[in-house]
Structure 1
Amino acid sequence: MAVIGAGAAGLSLVHRLCAPAPGRRPDVTLIDAPPGPLRPPERTWCFWGEPGGAYDEALTASWDRLRLRGHAGDTVDCTLAPTRYKMLRSTDFERLVNARLDAAPHLRRTTATVDGIDDLRPGAVVRGTTEGGTPLRLRARWVFDSRPPRALPPARTLLLQHFRGWFVRTAQPCFDPAVADLMDFRTPQPAHGLSFGYVLPLDPCRALVEYTEFSPQPLDDTGYDRALHHYTSQVLGLGAFEVTGTEQGVIPMTDARFPRRTGSSAFRIGTAGGATRPSTGYTFAAVQRQSRAVADALARGRPPLPPPAYPARSRAMDGVLLRALATGRVDGTRFFTQLFREAGPERMLRFLDGRTTCREDFALGLRTPVLPMLRTAAELPWLRRRPDTRARGIPAGGRPGHEETGPPAPETGPLA
């Protein structure tokens, strides 16, 4: 079998397929893009999980407490025990997984630009050009493609989650390493959508500080820098600090339907296969679920169609929320602050990860602005799904939960 792309989705699947287990392991060819624009930049993923996870030894940091700050400065504290909010840098993830794969006896690696996948029924042929310029024709029983789509599928609603983050080092201790700020709404709000700060402390003097917006269009460099200068100086009051690194990304938040199967033997995985949560951008945990399901199906001799990353109920709720935010029918800052406060942090965090039950989702719905949400739900079936030119060239990334993305979308953030 062939896996296209050596980012989070591709490496996670290969890691599962090559893990030691009883019985014969499949022969796997991992096709990575050559160095250049087809490879995603360094980025950060964040996700929830219990201690002792598969990638814990590569984590940059983790927290068992989260905080949400309202526009007026009121706080909602979230205790996560026994789970933790984990921060994983893509370079550390790749280093760990590649070291484990070095000894995999059934893995072959190649570097090539993939041009297309031909369906053979059964099987498929991956066509491309190797790094040395020679043609590539690789026949495989199953092909898993994690490349971001050239354009997003038609949708009824598309907002962009766009952000820039600074890794900062302050002159004086300014951060509590025990608490991460998931959403800080003490930022100036845009005319359409919402904005918030996001702070992942690494120690008392170091943190990743991000400015994030949900809005129709990204900002320019001046806009992001102005917002970050305001947030770090006027809101956080950091005083003197040094910027040691930056991250920036754009994540489409859309109710588009991402096909998981593109041929009799070809499948899409990662964000290309719908692993990014439409209302939040979280992806990494869903990629792990998809990878486990595909590996289990192959081990049982079943067709390895990646399962939906989120239940149909969750996707429907996301569609309503996105439309309500895009039309301005709900105030995003008030919406999220009220939900966290009234529904309880534990339930909200499960909702963000797509793991709530039907009863919990119904209870959450009752804590939203009911009339605007009902109006939005009633109109959705009558809206046509349309392509959006803003999506051209914008990879469908995942955020902290971000996933397999291409330039320019590193992943980090609260709703990544």
Structure 2
Amino acid sequence: MPSTNHFDYVIIGNGLAGLQLALQLSSDSFFDNKQVLLIDKSDKNSNDKTWCFWEKHTGKWDHIVYRTWDKAMFHTSKTALKLSLSPYKYKMIRSIDFYKDAKSILSKKANFHFVLGDVIDINENDLVTIQTKDNFYTANHVFDSRINNTFFNKKDNYIRINQHFKGWTIETDSDVFDPDRFTMMDYRIKDGNQTAFTYILPFSTKKALVEFTYFTPQIVDDSTYDVYLKKYILDILKIEDYTITQLETGNIPMTNFPFQTHSTKHITKIGTAGGWVKGSTGYSFKHTEKKVLKIIENLKLNKLPSKGLYNKRYAFYDKVFLRVLQDENDKGEWIFEKFYTKNSVETMFEFLDEESSFYNDLKIMNALFSFSFIKAFFKTLLF
């Protein structure tokens, strides 16, 4: 237990955002004299999720990357597209490896402290008071990864698409998978006219994560995922005998809800609660890395930590895309087919990383040009 109840920074939530922020603080000598407290109700000792991202060449997380791919497949109902990702690699990190690595590094820092607890209340004055079930703490600044309750009320006009999924890691007795090529999206098995697809990460010729994913406003019963996973494995992969060794489920918000407006002078919302998940894709790992670096820069310049974290241009693009999925959810397969077949990998990834030129943005828009997007564009512009 820490010997004091007051800290320079308190980080609530030891997930992706909280631990990336703590690691960056710990690696910068500017913060060596700052006392940092991390609070989480979980000890983070289980492999509860998987993060994937694309990256050129080597990266700062390579020492914990579980698997990489430089080739991919994309299937629609009628076509199959082989993608070379060069100069990128698609990288996968297991959450348990990330948690262990982060805790190992931070535990060696005398100014970093961990508390197992559930935050039940925060009050902001000149200092921020954090109340847990067992104790209270004060801080000069709090980084809070808890989603504001107003997001769940749904009494507004913001778009909310659920990226919800269930994945099975399966093992077979025979060689089935190509371990050098993952499947980004496969639309050959669908649930009616909804946007739903299968995602495959092969770890070897006999082992892979097979995940059935929806991009829909509503969610489904747990048994529904099982139906389509079984159907895909039997009808598409032609596998009759296999063992399920691990399960993974999740629900990632794809939304234009203004999470960032809930940050204040002394409280900065981070992670999903700060709008760090890209609205149109659900990817968050590299976006988190960039936003953490911006926060560190702001802190060192004595600026508001949340200053400059958000790009209005890409937020508008995401909103148009989400509006199409909300109004015409059956268009998902068509959208992604145009996106992947009419653009280079580099153009797509730069756009999704929010690093593209306006010229390349126009190329992306041209590929998706349709009446559905025209309607969504003007609805987004006017409302």
Give the alignment's TM-score, normalised by structure 2: 0.91
Name the CA shift for 1:165/1:23 in 2 (closer, same or farther; >3 Å).
closer
Q: Give me the whole-angstrom Cα distance separating, in 2, the residues matched to 1:315 and 1:227.
A: 33
CA distance in 2, matches of 1:283, 1:103: 27
Match of 1:19 in 2: 27
Contact 2:171–2:245, Cα closer than 8 Å, also in 1 = yes
3-state DSSP class of the match of 2:21?
A: helix
Q: Matched residues in 1 for 2:33 and 2:189: separation?
A: 51
Distance 1:329 1:13 in 2: 36
Q: Note the aligned Cα RMSD (angstroms).
A: 2.2
The superposition leaves residues 304-348 of structure 1 with CA deviations (integer Å, 9 ceiling, x where unpaired) of 226435x21111111111111222287221221122111222211
Cα displacement (A) at 1:361: 1.2
SS in 2 for 1:52: coil
1:294 aligns with 2:298: no
Q: Give the aligned residue type for 1:334.
A: W
1:96 equivalenced with 2:101 (yes/no): yes
Amino acid at match of 1:287: T
Alignment gaps of 5+ in structure 2: 1-8
Percent of residue pairs identical:
28
Q: Does 1:46 align with 2:52?
A: yes
Q: Matched residues in 2 for 1:245 and 1:34: separation?
A: 20
Gaps of 5+ in 1: 384-416
Provide the residue aligned with 1:161 in structure 2.
163
SS at match of 1:142: strand
Q: Work out whether 1:5 is the aligned partner of 2:8.
A: no
In 2, the alpha carbon distance for the partners of 1:329 and 1:100 equals 44
**Number of the residue aligned with 2:4:** none
Contact 1:330 1:369 in 2 (8 A): no
Give the residue type in structure 1 aligned to 2:243: E
Q: What do the CA deviations read for 1:45-95 (whole angstroms, capped 9, x no partner)?
A: 1111234322211122111112211212x2223222332111111111000
Deviates further, 293-302 or 313-322: 293-302
Distance 2:80 2:220 in 1: 28
Per the alignment, in what secondary structure is the counterpart of residue 342 of structure 2? helix
Amino acid in structure 2 at the alignment position of 1:150: N
Match of 1:140 in 2: 139
Q: Which residue of 1 aligns with 2:130?
A: 126
Instruction: Give how far 1:102 is off.
Output: 1.7
TM normalised by structure 1 equals: 0.84
2-side partners of 1:51 and 1:22: how far apart?
29
Q: Does 1:182 align with 2:184?
A: yes
- Residues 106/208 of structure 1: CA separation in 2 closer, same or farther (3 Å cut): same
CA distance in 2, matches of 1:46, 1:276: 13
For the structure 1 residues 239 and 67, does the alpha-carbon distance in structure 2 shift closer, same or farther, using more than 3 Å as the test? same
Q: Give the helix-richer structure, 1 or 2.
A: 2
**Paired position in structure 2 for 1:391:** none
Deviation (angstroms), 1:8? 0.8
Deviates more, 1:8-17 or 1:245-254: 245-254
1:124-178 deviation line (CA, Å, top 9, x unaligned)? 2222223xxxx31x22111100123334174432221111100010111111111
Instruction: Using CA pairs under 8 Å that are at least 6 residues apart, name the structure with larger relative contact order, 1 or 2.
Output: 1
